[in-house]
Amino acid sequence: MLKIGDIEMKNRVVLAPMAGVCNPAFRLIAKEFGTGLVCAEMVSDKAILHGNKRTMEMLFVDEREKPLSLQIFGGDRESLVEAAKVVDRQTNADIIDINMGCPVPKVTKCDAGARWLLDPSKIYEMVSAVVEAVDKPVTVKMRIGWDDEHVYAVENAQAVERAGGSAVSVHGRTREQLYTGKANWDIIKDVKQAVSIPVIGNGDVFSPEDARRMLDHTGVDGVMIGRGALGNPWMLYRTIHYLTTGELLPEPDAAEKIRIAIVHMDRLIALKGESTAVREMRKHLAWYLKGLPGAARVKDVIMEETDRDNMVRILGEYVRSLEDAGETVAH
């Protein structure tokens, strides 16, 4: 089993902290689908310290989501430590995760996210300062390196361990790769062999079989699933089942996909209000519909929609049209 500090997960499957995706609406679905650990989307240390309303809402943790990891990012030691203290004392998250993998320029420009990958000594300094200031276990999510010339994954993970970090998640791509090319599982394996804290592997896990292959290839303690779960929380459930029993469950049919999509939307509405939630839900619905027959037609219609009941009606008609055509089976 995966154990981080004194927090024990019931399996080795972890939902990655995806920005714009991992709010309580989706995290709760992931948890209901059995996920061992869910990670919240990253929050800026400065925003936490400014106490901005939207940021404080992002720190909300529903008891049913636990164990949960809240991710923070920042480039300045003092503000990162202060923000970690807020997460430690004012939220019921179980784990504090520090982002060292975010590749987007607006994050790396402020010396945060993947920028740290160039300097193991900065990683040691930042992580040890946070570890000393909080009671909750501290983990780090990182990429293997900045670019092909600067791959310090092993040194960086060892710095996390020396600093008192409780686990490290490694995405097998460099910052320069963003989400292109292939994830390098060999380097994840090197990290696993170089440290004694738990290592969670991330990158190119799009099926339960991928998860099994990653575990076998790298020896990691947990598998983190990110883009593979977009509009597809069944991927989490099917992976857990496959890793536990070796049995591959079938993909859900269209009716089941749409049923969960509507649950997701309604939870988002409860969080953010109808007009914001329905707009935000459009991208999720595009993911839920992916690969279903005639999905392109429906996507065009829902991209204009701002009303919850209309959205439900359009999706319902779509499922009925598939049933009439005898096409509800999963593809």
Rounded CA-CA distance 162/133 in Å is 16
- Helices 24-32 and 254-272, interaxial angle, to 10°? 140
3-4 vs 7-8, strand pairing mode: antiparallel
Amino acid, res. 308: R
Rounded CA-CA distance 168/142 in Å is 7
HSE-up (13 A, CA, CB side) for residue 9: 29
Residue ranges with strand state E in the chain: 3-4, 7-8, 13-15, 37-39, 43-44, 68-73, 95-100, 138-145, 167-174, 199-202, 222-225
**What's the CA dihedral at 129, 131, 134, 137 to 10 degrees?**
160
Rounded CA-CA distance 25/94 in Å is 18
Cβ atoms of 222 and 301 within 8 Å: the answer is no
In the annotation, is 39 catalytic?
A: no
Amino acid, res. 1: M
* Residue among 61, 62, 3 at smallest CA distance from 36: 3
Cβ atoms of 14 and 199 within 8 Å: the answer is no
Rounded CA-CA distance 257/226 in Å is 18
Phi-psi region of 308 (alpha: psi -120 to 50; beta: other; left: phi over 0): alpha
Rounded CA-CA distance 293/310 in Å is 21
Amino acid, res. 196: S
| Residues marked as catalytic | 102
